[in-house]
Structure 1
């Protein structure tokens, strides 16, 4: 799998692997290869999600206890 593969493509491949493993039509070696690929993709997807969460938190801001600071968008609406 390419390093620059999108999150969506990684998730799609991970779903394919899960389906293949659920079918159970593979020998132990192929099953192990699929499992390893799936675990690698799972870790890569988690890292992407963690990075996105960090970026969102930076945009929104967090307090010293890591609680999100949210803005009340209703204040921006003028009557």
Structure 2
């Protein structure tokens, strides 16, 4: 079983693929193979980003709800605040 690449490793691999394709020094068959690999890596990275975005949104909502529920709204304009 192959070890799953980290997000950063996938991005680095994508950059390597782009560099190779831009150089134009590989065969058509190799180009197609790399292009396909790049598409697969792109999809995996997109899924990871969406998952992270969803998790952050959940964390922000929980934090905001907790923060707002703990606020003391009984502020008086006559109080001295330093």
Fold similarity call, TM over 0.5: yes
What range describes the TM-score normalised by the shorter chain of this pair? 0.7 to 0.9
**How many residues of Structure 1 are paired with residues of Structure 2 in the alignment?**
66
Post-superposition Cα deviations, 1:40-62, rounded to whole Å, max 9, x if no partner, equal: 00000000000000000000129
> Structure 2: which 5+ residue stretches go unaligned?
72-81
Q: Secondary structure at the match of 2:15?
A: helix
TM-score normalized by the length of structure 1? 0.73
Match of 2:79 in 1: none
In structure 2, C-alpha distance between the alignment counterparts of 1:3 and 1:53, rounded to whole Å = 24
Alignment of 1:30-69 (within 5 A): 30-61=30-61
Cα RMSD over matched residues? Answer: 2.3
Match of 2:18 in 1: 18
TM-score normalized by the length of structure 2? 0.71
Match of 2:4 in 1: 4
Structure exhibiting the larger radius of gyration computed from Cα positions: 2
Greater RCO (CA < 8 Å, at least 6 residues apart)? 2
